[in-house]
Amino acid sequence: MYKMRILVTGNGILGKSLMRTVPKGIAVFNSVRLAPKRGEIKIDILNAKEVSKALSSIRPDAIIHTAALTDLEYCEVHKAQAQLTNAFAVKNISRLSGGARLVYISTDSIFDGKRGWYSEKDKTNPINVYSKTKLLGERHADLAIRTNFFGFAEKRLTFPVRMLMSMKAGKCVSAAEDQITTPIYADLLSEAIYKFVLSGKEGVYHFGASKPVSTFSFAKKIARKFSLDSSLVERASLDDIAKTLGLKAKRPKNTSLNPRKASIIAKPPSIRRSLETFKSMLKK
């Protein structure tokens, strides 16, 4: 007999990771937007009928909502679709949840990044479309976990994977020295998310690495962890990178999160621990 039934929406970096780290005694169902494989459920979160049908058949105790439009550049030019997916669909899921607790995965980028080491009491001020829509989505959640994570994606190269590929090929990589975050490896975040769900807590929590790190220093740490030449990591600024890549969405600088409130429920890992776990997963 399972003590809880959970629906995880989305099967991107975090959705997949949540499916890898299911604690014992919990039944977890995963929904995908398109082409469900065996054991998966099809839910396009923009389709209220599909949401309603799936929720009434699964009858979850909790929903961990990871599905979202996460490409900042795409959101910047597809504002209406971003609003529908990241905010309106969350309202719909909450309305149709049948009393299931809605756990929403939010982002550190709901802050403007002028100060950093933000607590849950600090004023939000999102500076791009993605972050604005993510903040709107928080309103409909029972529990919102603001975070910043890294891992593996099927459809794109994530930051550490891209860094590793370039450095292994002996190519230099640019990393912003003025971008500061508290990144956590997705599987460690997933383990913590289940602890949050089981704790029954509600409200807003910040969770990520125990200490802030600049993207430049993070890239150097990745190089060292994988015994690569860390001198291949070149210092850059967010403005340089935005200019070189022609980015439209503004990036906040220091969005590091203070995880003190959350640490009663789960211990925030060091960057070192996240990278060790990430490396051990790459070997598998």
Ligand X SMILES: NC(=O)c1ccc[n+]([C@@H]2O[C@H](COP(=O)([O-])OP(=O)(O)OC[C@H]3O[C@@H](n4cnc5c(N)ncnc54)[C@H](OP(=O)(O)O)[C@@H]3O)[C@@H](O)[C@H]2O)c1
Q: Can you read off the two tokens belonging to residue 241?
A: 């990178």
Q: How far is residue 99's CA from residue 61's CA, in Å, rounded to a whole number?
A: 7
Q: Which of 4, 22, 46, 281 binds ligand X (CB under 6 A)?
A: 46
Residue reference for tokens 């640019």: 174
Assess 196 for contact with ligand X (CB under 6 A): no
Q: Which of 6, 7, 8, 12 binds ligand X (CB under 6 A)?
A: 12
CB of 170 to ligand X, least distance (A): 28
Angle between helical axes of 13-20 and 186-199 (0-180°, round to 10): 70
CB of 1 to ligand X, least distance (A): 30
Q: Tell me which stretch binds ligand X (CB under 6 A): 6-14, 195-203, 210-218, 263-271.
A: 6-14
CB of 189 to ligand X, least distance (A): 9
Q: Tell me which stretch binds ligand X (CB under 6 A): 11-19, 56-64, 209-217, 222-230.
A: 11-19
CB of 111 to ligand X, least distance (A): 12
Q: How far is residue 151's CA from residue 186's CA, in Å, rounded to a whole number?
A: 5
CB of 32 to ligand X, least distance (A): 6
Q: Can you read off the two tokens belonging to residue 37?
A: 């494989």
Please classify residue 35 by burial: count the beta carbons closer than 10 Å to its beta carbon, then call 0-12 exposed, 13-18 middle and 19+ buried.
Answer: exposed
Q: Tell me which stretch binds ligand X (CB under 6 A): 41-49, 190-198, 218-226, 266-274.
A: 41-49
CB 137 within 8 A of CB 106: yes
Position with the least CB separation from ligand X: 12
State phi, psi for 266 to the nearest 5 degrees.
Answer: -145, 145
Taking alpha carbons only, the member of 156, 176, 157 closest to residue 165 is 157
Q: Which is nearer to ligand X, 181 or 232 (CB)?
A: 181
Which residues, in sequence order, are CB contacts of 198 under 8 Å at separation 6+? 4, 23
Q: What is the DSSP letter of 257?
A: B
Please tell me the count of residues contacting ligand X according to CB under 6 A: 25
Q: Which is nearer to ligand X, 147 or 174 (CB)?
A: 147
Q: How far is residue 69's CA from residue 145's CA, in Å, rounded to a whole number?
A: 17
Q: Can you read off the two tokens belonging to residue 185?
A: 């490896």
Q: Which is nearer to ligand X, 151 or 236 (CB)?
A: 151
Assess 131 for contact with ligand X (CB under 6 A): no
Interaction residues for ligand X, span 62-121 (CB under 6 A): 66-70, 85, 105, 107
Interaction residues for ligand X, span 148-187 (CB under 6 A): 148-149, 153
H or E stretch at 200: none
Q: Can you read off the two tokens belonging to residue 139?
A: 């309103």
By the criterion CB under 6 A, which residues form the site for ligand X? 10-15, 33-34, 43-46, 66-70, 85, 105, 107, 134, 147-149, 153
